[in-house]
Amino acid sequence: MSDVDYRGIIRDGLWSNNVVFSQLLGLCPLMAVTTTATNGLGMGLATTAVLVLSNVLVSSGRSLIVPEVRIPVFILLIATLVTLVDMVMNAWLHELHKVLGLFIPLIVVNCSVLGRAESFASRQPVRAALVDGLMMGIGFTLALVLLGACREILGSATLFSGAPLLLGDHFSFLEMKLISDYKGVLVMMLPPGGFLVLGFLLAGKQLLDLRQKKAATAQFHCAVETTGR
Amino acid sequence: MVAWIKPSSTVPYQTLLVGGVALLASAIISIGFQLTSGDIAKRQAEDRLVSLRQVLPSAPPGDELLRNPVTVKDEAGNDVVVYRVLKDGKVDGVAYQIIGQGYSGDIVLVIGVAPDGKLLGVRTVSHAETPGLGDKIETAKSDWVLGFAGRSLSDPPPEKWGVKKDGGVFDQFTGATITPRGVVKAVKQGLEFFDAHASEMLETSNSGASGGLHE
């Protein structure tokens, strides 16, 4: 499949069409779990797994699925996947499930999974859909970790607290206490704080994008002038 | 205009498609459930034994603890299974499950009580509280529940059995008052339950062949 633009898919997933920062999707699980960077990471990884699987499934069944009934079919597939992931983790990755178990049902309500099935996987070959799911998932994970880290630092002056529970004891070095005598800012741990932080992060991304655009157009004008139109 | 319709745009095809996918999804989930339910039940039994052992420090090793429970009816007529540690023919401690009302649904706890009515310990078994706020009732996240050990219905006095916000002695969490309030209330009720049924729980005369069932 040489006509698939993989670099474009990767750029879209990680930056220019990022689930959180551009599409503003999946905000419900986002606000619920990003009280710490560790929680964000766990939710991000679980969502990535579901995104990849659902994209592959939808893409491989795209010739059978007709537009009129696509939404119920997609939702059925996604809900089945999430239930399976939940059961399998509970049975065979029980320690991890104790940490992530709270978040897994939230993946069903993450509209980005349905969004990718609808706008990408249902029209693209399987391999492209797989890459897209992976990249969107990684982009979502990065956004969750970034937001979680900001809220954690502002809210309780810690970073990656609880990381050994998720990643194993090797990663206990990640756990940091930045200011030892910090009273904590409660609002940052609550959903309103999440929206505040997200707003600033969005503004930051816009600023970067605008600056890049300005630089690009300036370059374009120069090029036009030197070639004499 | 050509007078034929693609089969995929007809209602029967669409109905069959959705029905087929639903059937497939149910089949996959049933198979997944069959494959995992045994292991999940085993893991949960292990978890239960671990939490029972934590609230009953004098429990013997092995799963002897799970073998001679008694069933006690609570005020609402529900059966409560009480696990007991027996030492020299006497009950050295009892443990049972209690349920508190959290911010998002039930909080399942297990408490251990000594024969004199003192709390041996409280542990959270399962809950659906907000990650990062209400989940400090897990020992993995906070030492909060350890603060119950050694308490009894007279320590603190009944009117002080609440979170600090309500004039009690127990800490609430930053951002979450409902969760610890629910837990404190459940633990208090658990102790009252022991108070009301102590004689049934501590009786050992028929813990042998008759199975220790009380009507």
B158-187: pLDDT as tens digits: 888 999 988 889 998 877 889 999 999 999
Q: Across residues B128-147, what is the average pLDDT?
A: 83
Contact B130 A32 (CB under 8 A): yes
Q: Which two tokens stand for residue A176?
A: 């940091």
Distance CA(A65)–CA(A59), nearest Å, equals 10
Q: What is the pLDDT at residue B5?
A: 66
The band of A129, judged by pLDDT with boundaries at 50, 70 and 90, is: very high
Residue type, B171: D
Query: Which residues of chain B neighbour A36 with C-beta distances below 8 Å?
Result: 131-132
What mean pLDDT do residues A152-180 have?
79
B21 to A84: CB separation less than 8 angstroms, yes or no: no
Contact residues on chain B for A193, CB-CB shorter than 8 A: none
Q: What is the pLDDT of residue B213?
A: 44
Confidence of residue B209 (pLDDT cuts 50, 70, 90): very low
Confidence bin at B208 (pLDDT 50/70/90): very low
> Which of A184-193, B14-23, B141-150 is least confident?
A184-193
SS3 state of residue A7? helix
Task: Report the sign of the C-alpha dihedral through residues A196, B131, A55, A130, in that order.
Answer: positive
pLDDT of B99 over the 60 cut: yes
**Position A98 in a domain:** yes
Q: Do B13 and A66 touch (CB under 8 A)?
A: yes
Tell whether A69 is within 8 A of chain B (Cβ): yes
Question: Is the confidence at residue B1, as pLDDT, over 80?
Answer: no
Confidence (pTM): 0.73
> What was the pLDDT predicted at B215?
37
Would an 8 Å CB–CB cutoff place A75 in contact with chain B?
no
CA distance B182 to chain A (A): 19
Domain boundaries, chain B: 54-202
State whether B32 and A87 contact (CB < 8 Å). Answer: yes
* B131 touching chain A per CB within 8 A: yes
Average pLDDT of span A194-216: 91
Specify the pLDDT at position B131.
67
pLDDT score of A195: 92
- Give the pLDDT confidence score for residue A197 in this predicted structure: 92
Q: How far apart are CA A146 and CA A205, in angstroms?
A: 13
Q: Is there a contact between B35 and A91 if contact means CB atoms under 8 Å apart?
A: yes
pLDDT > 70? residue B210: no
User: Measured between CB atoms, does B198 come within 8 Å of chain A?
Assistant: no
Does residue A228 have a pLDDT over 70? no
Amino acid at B198: A
**In whole angstroms, what is the distance from residue B34 CA to residue B164 CA?**
47
How many structural domains is chain A composed of? 1
pLDDT recorded at residue B141 = 80
Assess if residue A1 is contained within a domain. no
Q: Which pLDDT score, from 0 to 100, does residue A147 have? A: 93
- Window 3-42 of B: residues touching A by CB (8 A cutoff) are 8-9, 13-14, 17-18, 21-22, 25, 28-29, 32-33, 35-37, 39-40
DSSP bridge partners of B96 = B82, B111
pLDDT in tens, A8-53: 999 888 888 888 888 888 888 888 788 888 888 888 988 999 999 9
Least confident of A55-59, A95-99, B152-156: A95-99
Q: Domain for residue A86, yes or no? A: yes
Could you tell me which of A32, A26, A6 has the C-alpha nearest to residue A140? A26
- The count of CB pairs under 8 A between chains A and B is 80
Asked if A76 has any chain B CB less than 8 Å from its own CB, the reply is yes
Q: What pairing do the DSSP bridges indicate for beta strands B119-126 and A158-159?
A: unpaired
Q: What is the average pLDDT across B17-34? A: 94
More confident residue, A19 or A161: A19
Give the number of other Cβ atoms within 10 Å of residue A16's Cβ.
13
**pLDDT reading at B212 higher than 60:** no
ipTM of the complex: 0.70
For residue A101, the model assigns a pLDDT of 79
Q: Closest partner residue to A35 among B8, B25, B133, by Cβ?
A: B133
Looking at the complex, report in whole angstroms how far the Cα of residue B58 sits from the nearest Cα belonging to chain A.
26
Q: Do B43 and A91 touch (CB under 8 A)?
A: yes
How does the average pLDDT of chain B come out, rounded? 85
List strand residue ranges (DSSP E) for B103-139, in order: 105-113, 119-126
Q: Which residues of A touch B40 (CB under 8 A)?
A: 87, 90-91
d(CA B193, CA B113): 11
Confidence of residue B133 (pLDDT cuts 50, 70, 90): confident
By C-alpha distance, the chain B residue nearest A83 is B29
Q: Is residue A200 in some structural domain? A: yes
Q: What is the band of B57 on the pLDDT scale with cuts at 50, 70, 90? A: confident
**Which pLDDT score, from 0 to 100, does residue B181 have?**
94
Asked if B9 and A186 come within 8 Å (Cβ–Cβ), the reply is no
Mean pLDDT for A175-197 is 80
Q: Do B43 and A94 touch (CB under 8 A)?
A: yes
Structural domain for A92, as ranges: 6-228
* CB A165 within 8 Å of CB A99: yes
- Ranges of H-type helices in chain B: 11-55, 178-202
Contact A90 B130 (CB under 8 A): no
